[in-house]
Amino acid sequence: MKAIITGGTKGIGYATCELFLENGVDIAINSRSETDLKAVKAEFESRFPDRQILIKATDVSQKDQVIAFADYVKSEWPVIDILVNNAGLYVGGQIHTEADEVLENQIATNLYSAVHLSKHILPVMLTRKKGTVINICSIASIMSYPNSASYSISKFALHGFTKVLRDEMKDKGIRVVAILPGATWSNAWGEVDLPKERLMQARDIALTIWNAIQLSDSAVVEDIIIRPQLGDL
C-alpha cells in the first residue's frame, strides 16, 4: 500500500508514518521544514530499507504548494491507497480580540489544505473505486475550548468537510474517516510540565488510524473520538 501523510515529521504525523512503515506501507510526507523532512527520511530509510519514502517541503496554507505536492506524489505513484490529512496549526486566542489573520491562517492550514489535497488525490482513488481518506479533526471539532476560538472554528469546518466528502464518496468505494483526538503529546503543547500519562501518546492516534483502515470494504468508521483516560485539559 501507499499512503500520503501531511505534517509527517512530528507528533501524530510522525507516529502514523512509523506505524505505516512497520506494516509495509510506503509513505509520502510533507512539512514546511526541508531540514526536518530530510532528517526523518534518513532515519526511516535506515530503519525500513525496503520501504519507499517520498518527501517534499510544503507550506500547506498555500494552495499552490499543496497542489505541487499532490502532483509530485502522483508523478511517482499511479496508485494511492490512503490519504491522511494531518497537518495543522494551533494558535490560541479569542475571536473578539485576535487579529483577523489568526483565523484566516488557521482556516487555510487546518481546512483548505485538506480540501485542496483531497480534491487532487481523489481522482487517483476514484479510478480504482478504492481508498481511504482520514482527516485528523479534534475534540475541538465538536465543542469549543477557552482561548481556542479560531482553532475550534477551523476544526469544526474540517469535521463538516469530512461529513460532506463522506456522503459524496460513499457510493464510489472511498471511505472517509474523521479522527477527533483530545489532548495528545505533540509540539503544540510545547514543554508543558505534566506527567506522561496525563495526555495521550501520538502512537495511540496512529493505532486508531491503522485500525480504521483494516476494516472490510463494506464498513467505515465515520467518527472516532479518543480522549485521555483522565479527561481533556
Instruction: Report the CATH number that the domain containing residue 28 is assigned in CATH.
Output: 3.40.50.720
The pLDDT confidence band at residue 189, using thresholds 50, 70 and 90, is: low
Q: Looking at the domain assignment, is residue 192 inside a domain?
A: yes
User: What pLDDT is recorded for position 188?
Assistant: 62
Q: Looking at the domain assignment, is residue 65 inside a domain?
A: yes
User: What pLDDT is recorded for position 233?
Assistant: 74
Buried b (16+ CB within 10 A) or exposed e, 135-160: bbbbbbbeeeeeebbbbbbbbbbbbe
Catalytic residue ranges: 151
- Residue 42, pLDDT above cutoff 80: yes
Q: Looking at the domain assignment, is residue 144 inside a domain?
A: yes
C-alpha cell at 116: 485542496
Total domains present in the chain: 1
Measured from the Cβ of residue 101, the count of other Cβ atoms closer than 10 Å reads 11
User: What pLDDT is recorded for position 199?
Assistant: 86
Q: Looking at the domain assignment, is residue 57 inside a domain?
A: yes
Crossing angle of helices 113-128 and 149-169, rounded to 10°: 20
Q: Identify the three-state secondary structure at position 184.
A: strand
Q: Looking at the domain assignment, is residue 231 inside a domain?
A: no
Which element (helix H / strand E) includes 151?
A: helix 149-169
User: What pLDDT is recorded for position 135?
Assistant: 98
- Residue 193, pLDDT above cutoff 70: no
Backbone angles phi, psi at 90, to 5 degrees: -120, 125
- Mean of pLDDT values over 32-36: 96
- Mean of pLDDT values over 18-23: 98
For 77-124, the pLDDT digits (tens) are: 999 999 999 999 999 899 999 999 999 999 999 999 999 999 999 999
C-alpha cell at 139: 475534540
- Mean of pLDDT values over 40-45: 98
> Cα angle at 88 between 188 and 220, to 5 degrees?
115
Which structural domain, as residue segments, surrounds residue 144? 2-226
Closest CA to 59 of 85, 32, 95: 32
- Mean of pLDDT values over 154-162: 98
User: What pLDDT is recorded for position 115?
Assistant: 98
The alpha carbon torsion through 200, 183, 133, 154 (nearest 10 deg) reads -170
Half-sphere exposure of 188 (CA within 13 A, CB side): 19
Q: Looking at the domain assignment, is residue 232 inside a domain?
A: no
